[in-house]
Structures are given as structure tokens and as C-alpha cells.
Amino acid sequence: MARITFVQPDGNRQVFDSGEDETVMLVGVRHNVAHLPADCGGQLACASCMVDVPEAWRDRVGPPGLDEGDMIEDALGSRPPGRRLSCQIAVSEALDGLEVLLPERQG
Ligand code: FES
């Protein structure tokens, strides 16, 4: 279990504990976090679960996978540093305390 903080574009913060074998997306969707439609349910097919990972967490979270990075670039025309698809971030105890920022617009 890990505690994850979701930061809205207006700075509003929501903090939730993960369940077993959840991704960051699933934690957020389970709590109806705004700006996180996650339309494909985690199938790596929609790019509507994007989050920005603060620089201090990027080493622990890791970079996007190949298909994930391509999907972000297709949606945005670029690959902003720290941008990830939250359905591809598996929560582990190593991510306890993670903060992710929700973008204004999803892909
Ligand atoms: S939920 Fe669709 S790509 Fe993450």
C-alpha cells in the first residue's frame, strides 16, 4: 500500500491510499478524481489518464514505456518531461508519498 496525492490544476490536493496491485490511475478513478477520465480503463488506448510526475519522483517512477511514450507524443505532439500515463504506473511501497499533477486537458 502507498499513499498517493493527486494535485488538481487549481492546486487542490486529494490524498488516497492504494489498494493491492493498483495503478495510480485505478487509485484516482476509484475516488472519482477530476481531470482523470481514463476512458479505456487502463488498456493503453486512450491517453486520457495523463499525469505529470514531479522531478523529485521521476527516478523512482521511471520513464514511459515505448508504446506509452508514443501515445503521449501522438496526443500532445511532444513528450513533456515527467509526463506519464497513470494506468502504466504500478503502485508499490517504493511510491509511498508520490504526488502526481493532473493536467488541464487530457489526450
Ligand atoms: S486509461 Fe487509457 S491509456 Fe491509460
CA distance 83 to 72: 8
pLDDT in tens for each of the 107 residues of the chain?
A: 899 999 999 999 999 999 999 999 999 999 999 999 999 999 999 999 999 999 999 999 999 999 999 999 999 999 999 999 999 999 999 999 999 999 999 97
CATH of 3-101, one of 3.40.228.10, 3.40.50.300, 3.10.20.30, 1.20.950.20: 3.10.20.30
Distance 42 CA to ligand 1 centre (A): 4
Query: Contact at 8 Å (CB) between 42 and 25?
Result: yes
Distance 21 CA to ligand 1 centre (A): 16
Query: Contact at 8 Å (CB) between 84 and 78?
Result: no
CA distance 20 to 36: 20
* Radius of gyration for the alpha carbons in the chain, expressed in angstroms and rounded: 12
Closest ligand 1 atom to Cα of 41: 1
Closest ligand 1 atom to Cα of 40: 2
Closest ligand 1 atom to Cα of 87: 4
